[in-house]
Amino acid sequence: MVDILHKIGIKSSSPHAVYKALTTLEGLSGWWTSDTKGDCKTGGVIRFRFGNGGFDMKVLAQDPARHVLWEVIDGPEEWLGTKIGWDIRQDGEWTTVLFKHAGWKEPVAFMHHCSTKWAVFLVSLKALLETGQGTPWPDELKLDSWEENRAAA
């Protein structure tokens, strides 16, 4: 098993604001994908779509302003059963997010891609909270021709 790890600091925000961006349809739509639907409560399923395809996440755990954990229950085969965890803490003036997409079976090229893409969306989360404007799909930076063509379809 191999994991994707990231860490990002958000200036002049708060753990509550970051938690809200991870646990509400409005928040998630503001940095990951504008097409986010479903039930954000613990036990619920959130459906993230990116045009042709996407991910369904079951919300396994939520600890307000501290922790969120999802399990992928539908999406690309490599993602099925993987877990995505978010840990939030305050470091002085900055709110820090520790991110982990855990349980990949193999370090395939698609995992490399998803690692970089998560960073692109974490930068979008940072921008949303610092400036009020993120770059959720379909407006985020495209990393290959497949993504470019999907966004144009």
CA distance 55 to 34: 13
Q: Which of residues 98-137 bind its own copies (CB under 8 A)?
A: 98-100, 107, 109, 111-113, 115-116, 119-120, 122-123
- Pick 74 or 130: Cβ nearer its own copies: 130
9 near its own copies, judged by CB under 8 A: yes
In the complex, the smallest distance separating the C-beta of residue 107 from its own copies, rounded to whole angstroms, is 6
Q: Among residues 16, 94, 133, 139, which is the contact residue for its own copies, using CB under 8 A?
A: 94
In the complex, the smallest distance separating the C-beta of residue 55 from its own copies, rounded to whole angstroms, is 19
Residue position matching structure tokens 């305050």: 90
Rounded to the nearest 5°, which phi and psi values hold at 121?
Answer: -75, -30
Residue 57 is which amino acid?
Answer: M
Query: Cβ contacts of residue 61 below 8 Å, gap of 6+?
Result: 42, 67, 68, 69
45: enclosing H helix or E strand: strand 45-49
List interacting residues with its own copies (CB under 8 A): 2-9, 11, 91-94, 96, 98-100, 107, 109, 111-113, 115-116, 119-120, 122-123, 141-145, 148
